[in-house]
Structure formats: C-alpha cells, structure tokens
A and B are shown apart, each in its own frame.
Chain A
Amino acid sequence: MIKKASTHISQNEGTIFERSRPGRVGYRLPALDVDESPIESLIGRDLLRNDDLAGLPEVSEVDVVRHFTRLSTWNYAVDLGMYPLGSCTMKYNPKINERVSRFDGFASAHPYTPDELSQGNLRLIRELEVTLGEITGLPAVSLQPAAGAQGEMSGLMVIRRCLESRGNPRKIVLVPDSAHGTNPASAAICGYDVKTIKSNENGSVDLDNLREVVNQDVAALMLTNPSTLGMFEEHIVEVCQILHEAGGLVYMDGANMNALVGVTRPGDMGVDVIHLNLHKTFSTPHGGGGPGSGPICVTSELEPYLPFPRIVEETDATGLKTLRLDFNRPMSIGRVRAFHGNYSVLVRALCYILSLGPDGLREATETAVLNANYIAHHLMDDYEIAYHGKPLHEVIFSDKHQQKYGVHTLDIAKRLIDYGFHPMTIYFPLIVHGAIMIEPTESEGREEIDLFIDAMRSIAKEARENPDLVKNAPHNTRISRLDEAAAARKPVLRWIKPNDK
C-alpha cells in the first residue's frame, strides 16, 4: 500500500516565452539621474545590437512568480522527504545556513574589496580552512575549487606539482573500477594516463595486485574511502605505505566523508590529499545540480602547491592582527577559479559545522551509519545484497531476485516514485550489475525510514505478483517515462517561436 503519497492537482504551465505579451513589464528602475545622450553618439552604431532581443519574454511580476512556483511543484526535494541517493548524501539543509549566507556583509561584498575592509570574509575563510583541516587531519586547505570534480582536478595537480619538484611528474594514476566517473576524467585533465585496478571480492583494493602495479611510473592512487560500496578500506594504512614506498602519493575521494567525520581522519591513515563535497557532508543545498564546493585538504608538505592566493596573518606594530591575501606563491598550481571560490557555499558549511560542534558532527556520522545498517537489515530478505561486509553510511543491493520476473533496477527505482520517494542511485558503482545504492543520511527519523522499507518490500512483492505494475511505473506522476533516445537523436535544446520553426 502506498502510504506516503496520493494523487494531487498538478498545474499545467507552458514555457515563460509563451506567457510573453508585447509591452508587459515586471520591474521598475529608478529614473536615470544623469543627462541622456543618444547611445549612438557614445558607442558606434556598428557595435550595437540590431536585433531588439525579441526572444526574451515580456511578462509581469505575477506571471514570473506563478510560472516558477508552478514549475517548483513538479520537483521532488529533501524538504518533501527522504532522498535515498547513495553516494550523493542528500541530507537536510538547515535553514539557518540559508539565512546567514544572505547577511548583507557577505552577500554584498565585492571580491576585490581591499583586504582591510574584508576582514570578516577573510576570517570566515580562514576559520573554515582550520576547521576542515582538523576534521580531515590534513591541515593545509584550499577552498577555491568550485565543486568536487574541480577539487579532484586541483588535488591531482597538487600531486603533479609535488612530483615535478621531486624531479619526475610520472605518468599513471591508478583508479579502482568502483570509482566515480569524475576520477578518471580529472586524472586525464592533469595529463595522466588512467590505469583501472580491479577490486577484490570484498570490493576493496587487492593488496597483492596493488603491489604488482605500483611502480616508478605511478604518480598516485585515487581511492574512495569508504569505497562506493559503502565499506571502509580496511587496509588503508598498507595501501598508503605501498604507494609511498614507491614514491607515489595517495588521493582520497572524500565523497563519502559522511561516514567518517568525527570517527576517523584521512590524515591519520596516511592519505596525502582529499577533496570534500561541502554540498554532501556539510549540508549545503544541492540546488537542483549546483552550486557545489570542493575544497581540498593536503599535508603540510604539499601546502606550497595549493592554488593561490592564500590567506596569511600579519601582526602590526601595535599587536593588531589582520589577515591579507598572499599572491606570491611560486610553487602553486595556479588559480583554478576566479576570485575566492563558491564563497556563499563556504558560509553555509561553516555555519553547519559550528551549529553541530564536535559532538554533533560525530552524532551525525553515527546516525547516518545506523540508518544505513537498519535499512540493510530490513531489506536483505527481499533484495540481493551486493557485497557482504560491514557497510557504513550506504548499502548496495542488486536486482538479482527481481530479474526473474523481468523487473530491473530501473523499474524498481521508477516504482519508488509512486510511493512518494525519490529513487535511489542506480547502476552505480559499475562493478555491481543492476546496482541499487541506498544512502539514507542522518536526517531521516525512524518513521520515514520505516515507510521507505515498507515501500521497498512492497515493490519486491509487486515484482513477484504483478511485474507489469513495476515495469510501467511511475503511474502517478505528471508525465511517465520520457523518450530519452529521441531527445539525444534529434536534440531540441532551446525554445523556438512556433512561427519561426
């Protein structure tokens, strides 16, 4: 039985362009307070637009508000319920973060404001650097990378610069077959060849195999820990030793830090570089796909290679301490983004960390792990568990039991929508055939999780008794499954006025 959702009026709405009516406006600017000259006398006519921007809409404020409010109702969201997306860590986004990030002193600050007039912003950045350094055990932190993938790229560049200064940047980056697709893509941008290494039967790094492939050409190993199977890399210390002994470094993908904060620290394991996803572990909103923020934390030895500028503290003759930006960083990999990174995301992350404090952060980790294990326990009879082990914050099943009824992972995911939940992560990691990856996060109380378990068990039953019901899901959405092949075959990527087609 579907308990969490029922059918509901869903308003129709065309594109904003179809609402457009000539001459309609939704704004008013202050009157121009300087004498107006003909624009052609200020800027030559051949440099000016001659197309009137006719493709932008002409609408009222109410038009805009109705339009986007209606669109919003077609989305699922964390504030509507659980998002069991494995590896994506869709936790609750505290509202105080939103409020604080909008304070005028942050939101209205220009990035080129002189340092002495930006002390609050510089202090905030510094504070977050120190905090993330403590959480990861890797004390040198750059907050410049704009998202996790850019953090990966920056972290690998740091490794490359370090190896260059040791005399040889080397050629190969090792990436386990269970890794996220951004890992190999980031390594490629840094000029490295990617060598995929196979996971062992527990889904972790095969130490013997690792010893065989690590040689003088290997620059680094990119390791996700806990792995994308949700399990801690038990031999992480040995893994780091193998790399270090051969002169390579260890990059840890911090996508799964939500399983570790306050319990263990990558720096203590021997990891050299980690990136964090502030929009996962540190509760900043996903925003329907960005903005993210992907700080990197590195060992003190690697600090000189971090992106510039760095923040340094100076004490003047009177003992007054001020912070300033230091651009003189000759060993730096350079700049990876203009200005200071996704600052508005940084404000939210620090707000989260200070609101939770050391005890709250640990409790969040423990609760996330408890929730995932509870789900694993209750779904094990209905779904094939992919790897037996000690899952932390997420658990991976497959569709093996359902396949015999012709029901596949995608069908289960789509049917879950009818039950009022966002689907789980599917078909990732690639090493699990028909993967069903579930991460509840610490944000869910037992009641929501029980509803989710009921829904999953009910779908398993439907797969046995009425597979077509599952295969044709979702049934209760505005639209049913869309023809993605057609979208890619003949792409329509922009609105075109009907009479211009």
Chain B
Amino acid sequence: MLREMGRESIADLFRGIPDHLQLNSPLNLPATLSETETLDYFRELAELNTTRITGRRMASFLGAGAYDHFIPTIIDTLISRSEFYTSYTPYQPEISQGTLQAIFEFQSMICELTGMEVSNASLYDGSTGTAEAVLMAERVTNRTKVALAGNLHPEYREVVDTYIRNAGIESVTIPYDQTTGTLRIDAIAELGSDLATVVVQSPNFFGGIEDLRQLGDATHKIGALFTVVVAEGMSLGQLLSPGQCGADIVCGEAQSFGIPLSFGGSYCGFFATREKYQRQIPGRLVGLTHDAQGRPGYVLTLATREQHIRREKATSNICTNQGLYALMTTIYLSTMGRTGVREVAQQNIQKSHYAASRLAGIDGFSLRFSAPYFNEFVLSCPEQADQMLDALKSHNIIGGLPLSRFFPEMQNEILICVTETTTRKEIDALVEAMEVKVKSKK
C-alpha cells in the first residue's frame, strides 16, 4: 500500500507530528497478553469480587438504586447479535431500522409504565436524568430555583448539584417527616411561587412510597413543574403511575428491567414528559414517518433541539442515548410483559414485607419509618449498623447499606432491599444472624 502511494515508510505518514513530540520508545504498559492470559487475568480479578456466585459467595440485601432482579436469558442472546451491538447511532435510517424500531418500542413502553405522553430514547442513567429534568424545568419556566426532596437518592442529589452549580440554578431541600420518612406535603406550600420544579422520588431513598397525588397538587398550587424520580423502575409494576398524579416530568432508572448490576453501570436512564414539552426534552427521540412509496419507517427526529445543530444553545450537551441498554429494557418488558412485570412487583412487595415483619420482630429492632414501602425499608438496630453488618459478613451475608454513609444521624440504620431473587431461606438466615449478634452482646 505504501508503494502504491509512493511513500517509503509508515513514519512518512506521521511527518505532520513534530519530531520532538513523537515517542521514541514504546508506552510503558504491560506486555501483550495472549487470549488465554487475558482470560486468566480477568478471571482472577472477577473472583476477587464477592457476589452471590463469586468470591466468598454471599447473599446480599443491597439495593439503593441498583437492584438484583431476575434477568431472562434471551436478553443476552438477543443483544449479543452483532447487528445490534456493533452498529452505530441510527443516523442513516435506511440501514438502521432495527435499532430505530426497538427505540420506538422502548419509548412506547416507558410512556405506558410512567403514564406519560412522550418518552425520549433514554439517557445515561437515573442520576443524570434527574439533572437533565432540573435543567429542562429551568428552560420551560425560565425560573432558576428548584426544590429537591430530602429523601432523594443522595448520589442523584450530588449529580444534580454538580450540574446546576455553574448553571445559575439554586436548590432548596424539601424536608421529610421523621416518623413516616415521606415528604412533608405542608412544606411545599411554604416554598414560594418562584420555583421551576419540585423534584420528588417515589419510592424514596428509604423505600417509602410517596403520596404523589397530594404532592403533585401541592406543587401545581405553587405553579412549579412536578418532577417525579423513579430510581426503582420495577415499582411501576404495581404502584400508581406518576402520570396519573399530574407529573410534568418523570425520570428514573431502568436497570431493574433486565440490566445486570455490573458494579453500577452501564445502566439506562429514562425520561418522559407531556406532549406540550416535547420540544424541550433532552436527548434523542425516534419518530414514525414514511418513505416516498408510503412504507412506514422510523427516524431520529426533532433534532433541532440537539447539540450538533444548536451547538451552545442546545437543550443538552448529550450526544447519545444508552442504545443497547434501552434495547435490553425493551426485550425485558416484552418478555415479562404485562403479566410478568406485575407479578415481579407483587413478589417484591410480598417478600420485603415478610422480611420486614420478621426483622422488626427481633427484640431491639424496629422499622425506622412508618410509610408503606415497595421492596426496601430502613431497619433500626440496637447497635451501630457498621458493627451489625460486619458480624453478618461472617455468616456470608451482606446485610444492606449502612445509612450513616449518607445520613450521619442514622448510625444504627440499615437500608435493606428484598427482591424476587431473594429466597425465604436467605431472609430467615439474615434474621437468625441478627439474633445471634444481639444475643452475643448481652
């Protein structure tokens, strides 16, 4: 090839890079690994991680925005088709109809679950989706103050804080009731009438189900947009949809729908709104149209909102969706379908309530909050949560998330998650281990 081009050497092709900038020795990286060595290297690393099936093989009651749900086998089979995972963003609709139609179906299913009219093609995850919701509310209302729930996922809150710091947006916190753990609805009326949006999460970070109807009414009374965050998408299988409660924006995390935990990513943020705001929505949108012969087909649409056209005036700097993960969500929601999603949600409710009643029945333990919950609840222990959880590890149990990590006043509290994958045997073992721990102290 060089000869045809009349070039002498590869180095010839790099003449545009000044000599003094060119490396004269190889990068200081490990020597090339063969396929076998590569597999061994990663196998060893993987085995250093404790999960239900690797490392020390422990049962886990962790949730808090990342949920261990059943994943149908066909999801991985289907997304492993090269035509899906090695394809590009569908800018060329004639040869991207597979991706485009799947996203159209994703948008339709998110609308159904959330009770909203328009969904985008997905965002990075629930946390950045929440930040995008705040930015959108500012665009729609031209107001620069937002109220965020005090029981919003703390990492979502941190991400929102990062996004708004330089955007001239100010945030206030809505307090939660110390007994129920849910938001104080009376506090919303006191927020004033200059808010862009009130952002609430349901189920909230403590697992409690918010009264979205009342929160929505209170929010609209002060003239703000009502944003509902759903960090546990599976809850929509049984809980009243935010759309039915007057939500203007619904955003959240679709990880529960067939996406592996993967140490926190990649996940799939969803974002839905009312039709009247569809030209303000961040991210990609897929719409139905026709070709000259009248055959239906799908295209990326309303691109005039986007950065490649609008540059610094775009609705968002976002340049992608979570294509393959939106596809996983779509395959999950198809496979489980109307019946399965409801059944999974139902099992989560039944099992978490079984666990909560057993745990709260142990002498010295109680549920911290009184609000109804979906698959997570806060357990108050008679001693420091960290000590409790350390003791559980020797029983091969990761007992949940110590809330002191985010709420210093909650030294004895553990956030416990129970899903359909948690067995009764594991719950009973958790109860027993906790009993052993408190008895040993006496």
Contacts and interface: CB of A to CB of B under 8 A. Distances in A.
Given A107-B261, A184-B312, A488-B287, A83 B88 contact: yes
A298 interface: no
Given A287-B84, A339-B155, A334 B162 contact: yes
A119 interface: yes
B350 A17 contact: no
B98 A39 contact: no
A480 B294 CA distance: 10
Given A59-B334, A268-B21, A290 B320 contact: yes
Given A24-B337, A103-B43, A146-B128, 7 more contacts: A33-B423, A93-B85, A146-B266, A149-B318, A289-B88, A345-B266, A390-B16
A319 interface: no
B285 A493 contact: yes
Contacts of B317: 149-150, 152-153, 182, 185-186, 188-189
B391 to A, nearest CB: 13
A117 B55 CA distance: 8
Contact of B265 (A24, A146, A287, A353): A146
18 contacts: A15-B101, A67-B334, A79-B86, A104-B51, A112-B62, A189-B317, A232-B16, A269-B21, A286-B87, A289-B90, A290-B89, A335-B155, A338-B126, A343-B263, A356-B32, A482-B298, A484-B299, A486-B289
Nearest to A484: B299
Contact of B347 (A32, A186, A189): A32
A349 to B, nearest CB: 12
A191 B93 contact: no
Contact of A495 (B18, B108, B121, B336): B108
A260 B13 CA distance: 12
Interface in B245-275: 260-266
Contacts of A56: 109, 112-113, 333, 337-338, 341
Interface string B399-435: 0010000000000000000001001100100000000
Contacts of A107: 260-262
Contact of A344 (B27, B266, B288, B344): B266
Kindly list the 6 A-B residue pairs having the minimum CB-CB distance in the complex, ordered from nearest: A339-B264, A105-B46, A357-B32, A287-B324, A111-B264, A120-B48
B268 to A, nearest CB: 8
A370 B81 CA distance: 30
Given A67-B334, A184-B312, A474 B351 contact: no
A15 B321 CA distance: 21
A492 B60 contact: no
Contacts of B165: 157, 334
Contacts of B60: 110, 113
A285 B83 CA distance: 11
Interface string B21-53: 111001111111101001101111111111111
Contact of B307 (A42, A68, A181, A307): A181
A25 B373 CA distance: 28
Interface stretch (A94-102, A205-213, A242-250, A462-470): A94-102
A34 interface: yes
Contacts of B324: 285, 287-288, 290-291
